Amino acid sequence: MPGANPQPHATSLSRRAVLGVGALGALALAGCTSGSGSGSGSGSGADSAAGTATSGTSAAGSSSATGSTTSATSATSGTSASTGARAALSAPVDAATGLRVPWSGAVLPDGSVLVSERDTALVKRIPAGGGAVETVGTVQGVDAGGEGGLLGLAVDTATYASTPVLYAYVTAGSDNRVVTIAMGGGRFGAQTPIITGIPKGNIHNGGRLKFGPDRFLYVTTGETGRTGNSQNRDSLGGKILRVTTSGEAAPGNPFPGSRVWSWGHRNVQGIAWSAGGQMWASEFGQDTWDELNVITPGSNYGWPTVEGMAGQSGFIDPVRQWHTDEASPSGIGIGPDGAVLMAALRGQALWKVPVGSDGSTGEPEKLLDGEYGRLRDVFVGPDGNVWIITNNTSRGQVRDGDDRVVRLPQSLTG
Ligand SMILES: [Ca+2]
């Protein structure tokens, strides 16, 4: 049973016949799932003082509801976004609609959620408790094209209240870079590059940003279609990087002075950590195997020499693999029950991979099969439920209301 799901080869024109799966896009980054099974930082700890209707107020426990002017009552949702106990939903509920190529979600300590739009370079905010989405600011210097643009977002939830800084992964004119954005008053202030020189291409730009449980910033990059980057440890392409908040190599990295944490990647668009600290990464395969990997520092994940489970010495095999028409995985997160959740673009589904207490994986389960089209990101929202971001406005079939951010009921995700 090598593959997670032995779904046969892509029959000729299967679904949406997107070419080159890997090309799909970058990843979104869900700012949240890093910590553990319950939605790091934001919502989970909040007590449930918040009732239902009063959305405009920040239910989430802390800090001011920075600039969230909206006071719309979240009529449809039934619960405000950051109640401590998981909000009881009986069916999926839209948290936002009408977005343009949304790419990543980051949960702020006040219970609001920031969402990046790849091509417009806008960051939008879903207010705590729901309500109308507002534009927070435009990320400077974004040169959107192909799979590039404004990609991942992240915040360090441990320090955000005192030092509100947003981290963004952007495709600029000549490279991919990570920038910091001062968020005083909930609006964009100074924008400062902290990593430059990540290879840029029309495809495979990577783009996920997340803070790990060690509070360092992890950055996923793509090989931009130039496969030589992956096995070249001096290139920032085709890697997972681990850096300080100023973009320097983090202490304890496996190669002295280097930002590289792991290598031999093609295009990683999803990272997350289990409660016990185990790090996971999703990865687009070329045309054979998409991968779910367990990441260990300094390890080589094989691209372009091998794809999927190859059993070749010197390379770390994925723990699960999918045919590319079944997955083409972007963002991943850890669900409330500890499973790895993986947003699939071409596969148009949310894959749930159970994780045992020893870190081993169980048989993947395919959720939401086709129901929302292509999925770009998944994270635990401030209400403790799993949230997904769709990706139908850049490819695929646009449905009324696309693209959207959707809150999922516990009955669906576990
Ligand atoms: Ca691999």
In DSSP terms, which residues pair with 231 in a beta bridge? none
Cα 85 to middle of ligand 1, angstroms: 38
Cα 307 to middle of ligand 1, angstroms: 5
Over the stretch 27-37, which tens digit does the pLDDT of each residue have?
Answer: 233 333 333 33
Cα 248 to middle of ligand 1, angstroms: 26
Give the model's pLDDT for residue 250.
98
Cα 265 to middle of ligand 1, angstroms: 6
Give the model's pLDDT for residue 85.
83
Cα 285 to middle of ligand 1, angstroms: 8
* Strand intervals (E) in 307-369: 320-323, 329-334, 340-344, 349-353, 365-367
Give the C-alpha distances (Å, rounded to integers) separating 157 from 29, 67, 283.
15, 18, 26
Cα 95 to middle of ligand 1, angstroms: 35
As a whole number of angstroms, the distance between CA 350 and CA 372 comes to: 10
Residue with the two structure tokens 């004119």? 173
As a whole number of angstroms, the distance between CA 405 and CA 174 comes to: 31
Give the model's pLDDT for residue 84.
58
Cα 3 to middle of ligand 1, angstroms: 13
**Residue ranges of the chain whose pLDDT lies below 50:** 1-83
pTM of the prediction?
0.82
Give the model's pLDDT for residue 407.
98
Give the model's pLDDT for residue 185.
86
Give the model's pLDDT for residue 35.
32
Q: Work out whether the CA dihedral 90, 91, 92, 96 comes out positive or negative.
A: negative
Cα 239 to middle of ligand 1, angstroms: 12
Single out the residue of 341, 296, 373, 344 nearest to residue 39, CA to CA.
Answer: 341
Cα 264 to middle of ligand 1, angstroms: 7
Give the model's pLDDT for residue 170.
98
Helix (H) or strand (E) holding 410: helix 410-413
Domains of the chain in sequence order: 22-413 (2.120.10.30)
